[in-house]
Structure 1
Amino acid sequence: MDTGTHIVMGISLGGLAMADPAVAGHPITMTAVIAGTIIGSQAPDIDTVLKLRNNAVYIRHHRGITHSIPAVIIWPILITFVLGMIFQEANLLHLWLWTFLAVFLHVFVDIFNSYGTQALRPFSNKWVALSVINTFDPIIFGAHLIALMFWAFGTNPVWTIATLYVVLFFYYVIRFAVQSAVKHAVRNTIPDAEEIIVAPTMRFFQWRIAADSKRHHYVGRAYGRSINIYDKFPKTPLPTSNLMQAALKDKNVAAFVSFSPLYRWEISEIDDIYEVRLIDLRYRSNDYYPFVAVARLNHECKVIQSYTGWIFSEDKLREKLDFSMN
């Protein structure tokens, strides 16, 4: 989820913590727990700083080790230790319990996005992404804001947040049902589809579609059960040429391949320079595919420019490639 949603989730969880007598009956513990749930709801996303290094590192590691099983155990301990030094009279056991719940909930809800997490590490490096909730879901965010407003105007925080969570549980169930219906409609539209990716958008009934058959890639959108296929590309395997093999070893291209489950490729020659481009088919926007990996190589198959990330125009891509040389 986005940062704003994680923040309101942390505050809401602090309200639910009032159901714990050890928290509700001790003002210092209450303050520490609310701080712990807010910080705990943000802690796993500390790896966002990797973006300051470069996109390749960010794509490979964001929501990776910081969202893993060891991290879910370590984050609450670290946060409880720091807050315990600040709020020395707080009940540390209950502070740890609620902080642990905040960290766990952060990782858990991220699983429902298209990006997903490596939540099963160290047992598996597989990305777990259920793709039923958009990274920012206005209904989830708005529901939290409404609940927090009721709390601010004096309603019982425990019952208010408990009601919020019951409503959101059924909302998630509905999202799974809608996603299943969309997948069924895609199978009817593309009977020979072998792989179907249905990803949410911020609009409840609109979903992004990317599908693979033996011979083609398909890209489209679903509006309820109405399926619109916008693009159909011939499906060809990656060539085994020295050029492609050299490009795949580049850090930007390798990061893209590790993250993207469905993409097509292009090779072109510009002024004696070869350009290898991989294009993620999940994120079509205004007739453009913004998430790409590009490597430019000379005739000796040496990478001289490369980039991976979100680009919404060819001019911006050239700027990024030129910058990568500096």
Structure 2
Amino acid sequence: MDTGTHVVMGIALGGIATLDPVVGVDHSTAYAVMLGTIIGSQAPDLDTILKLRNNAKYIRNHRGITHSIPAVFIWSFLITGLIMLFVPESNLLHLWLWTFFAIALHVFVDIFNAYGTQALRPFTKKWIALGIINTFDPFIFIAHLIGIAIWVLGAHPGYTFLTVYIILMAYYIIRFSMQRRIIHRLHKLLPDIEQVIISPTMRFRHWHIAIMTNTRFHVARSINGEIILQDEFERIPVPQTNVIRAAEEDDNISAFLSFSPVYRWEVDEFTDHYEVRFIDLRYRSKGYYPFVAIVQLDYDLNIVSSYTGWIFSEEKLRKKLELIPD
């Protein structure tokens, strides 16, 4: 989820924690727990600072080790210890339990996005991405804001947010049901499907779809229950030529390939260089595929320039990278 949603979820958990008999009667513990749930709800996304280095590091590592099983415990111990330095009279056990729950909930809800997490590390590095909830879901965010407003108006925070979360559980079930119906329709439309990757949007009934069959890639959208096929590409395995192998040594390309489950590739030869491009098919927007990895190599197969990330026009890509002109 986005940062704002994680913040309001931390506040909500701090409110629910008042139902804990120890937290509910001890102001110091309640204050410490609120700090723990808010900080804990943000902690796994500390790896966002990797963007300051480059997109390749960020793509390869974001929601990776910081969202793993060991990290949930490490974050909870560190945050609890830090808060105890400032609020030593709070109940250590209950502070740790609610902080741990906030961190675990952060990782859990991120699984439902199309981006996903490596939440089962160290057992597997597989990305778990259920593709049910958009990274920013207006309904979820607004539901939390309404809960906070009701709390401010004087309602009991525990029962208020418990009600909000029961509603949100029903919302998740509805979203899951919607996704399953789309997949069922797709299998009727394209019987030879091998894999379907669905990415929800901020619009409740709009979904991005990437489909792999035995021989082709299909890009589609689902709008108000209707499947709209938009693009179709021949599914050609990436050839292991000298140019491709050299390109795959680049950090930007290798990061993209480690993350993207469905993409097509292009190799172009110009007067003085090669250009290799990988294009993620999950995020079609206005006829353009904005998530790409690109590398340019000279004829001696030395990497001249490369980039991976989100670019919404070819002109911006060229300016961003200062690539060799075509």
1:75-224 matches, cutoff 5 A? 75-224=75-224
1:287-306 matches, cutoff 5 A? 287-306=287-306
Q: Which whole-Å CA distance do the structure 2 matches of 1:70 and 1:194 have between them? A: 34
Displacement of 1:42:
0.3
Query: Segments of 4+ in structure 1 off by > 2 A?
Result: none
Q: Which whole-Å CA distance do the structure 2 matches of 1:312 and 1:272 have between them? A: 26
- Contact 1:69/1:122, CA 8 A, preserved across alignment: yes
Displacement of 1:295:
0.6
Q: Any idea what the Cα deviations from partners look like across 1:84-131, whole Å, max 9, x if unmatched?
A: 000011111111011000000000000000000000011100001111
For residue 88 of structure 2, what is the amino acid of its counterpart? Q
Task: Answer yes or no: is 1:65 the counterpart of 2:79.
Answer: no
Q: Any unmatched runs of 5+ in structure 2? A: none
The 10-residue stretch of structure 1 (26-35 or 182-191) with the greater mean CA deviation from structure 2 = 182-191
Q: Which whole-Å CA distance do the structure 1 matches of 2:123 and 2:213 have between them? A: 31
Q: Which whole-Å CA distance do the structure 2 matches of 1:29 and 1:106 have between them? A: 22
Displacement of 1:69:
0.4
2:242 maps to which residue? 242
- Contact 2:219/2:281, CA 8 A, preserved across alignment: yes
Q: Which whole-Å CA distance do the structure 2 matches of 1:320 and 1:307 have between them? A: 9
For residue 4 of structure 1, what is the amino acid of its counterpart? G
Q: Which whole-Å CA distance do the structure 1 matches of 2:323 and 2:190 have between them? A: 42
2:19 maps to which residue? 19
Q: Which whole-Å CA distance do the structure 1 matches of 2:244 and 2:283 have between them? A: 23
Give the 3-state SS of the residue equivalent to 2:229 in structure 1.
Answer: strand
1:232 maps to which residue? 232
Q: Which whole-Å CA distance do the structure 2 matches of 1:252 and 1:34 have between them? A: 40
TM-score scaled by structure 2? 0.98
Displacement of 1:43:
0.4
1:310 maps to which residue? 310
Q: Which whole-Å CA distance do the structure 2 matches of 1:246 and 1:75 have between them? A: 39
Q: Any idea what the Cα deviations from partners look like across 1:58-79, whole Å, max 9, x if unmatched?
A: 0000000100000000111100
- Contact 1:185/1:226, CA 8 A, preserved across alignment: no
The 10-residue stretch of structure 1 (228-237 or 267-276) with the greater mean CA deviation from structure 2 = 267-276
- Contact 1:185/1:225, CA 8 A, preserved across alignment: no
Q: Which whole-Å CA distance do the structure 2 matches of 1:176 and 1:224 have between them? A: 15
Q: Which whole-Å CA distance do the structure 2 matches of 1:54 and 1:204 have between them? A: 33
Q: Which whole-Å CA distance do the structure 1 matches of 2:224 and 2:258 have between them? A: 31
Task: Answer yes or no: is 1:51 the counterpart of 2:51.
Answer: yes
- Contact 1:182/1:224, CA 8 A, preserved across alignment: no
Q: Any unmatched runs of 5+ in structure 1? A: none
Q: Which whole-Å CA distance do the structure 1 matches of 2:75 and 2:64 have between them? A: 14
For residue 49 of structure 2, what is the amino acid of its counterpart? V
Q: Any idea what the Cα deviations from partners look like across 1:296-319, whole Å, max 9, x if unmatched?
A: 011112211111000011121112
Give the 3-state SS of the residue equivalent to 1:96 in structure 2.
Answer: helix
- Contact 1:44/1:107, CA 8 A, preserved across alignment: yes
Give the 3-state SS of the residue equivalent to 1:179 in structure 2.
Answer: helix
For residue 76 of structure 1, what is the amino acid of its counterpart? S
Q: Which whole-Å CA distance do the structure 2 matches of 1:159 and 1:67 have between them? A: 29
Displacement of 1:323:
7.5
TM-score scaled by structure 1? 0.98
2:278 maps to which residue? 278
Displacement of 1:271:
2.9
Displacement of 1:321:
2.1
Displacement of 1:135:
0.2
- Contact 2:296/2:323, CA 8 A, preserved across alignment: no
Displacement of 1:320:
2.5
Give the length in aligned residue pairs.
324
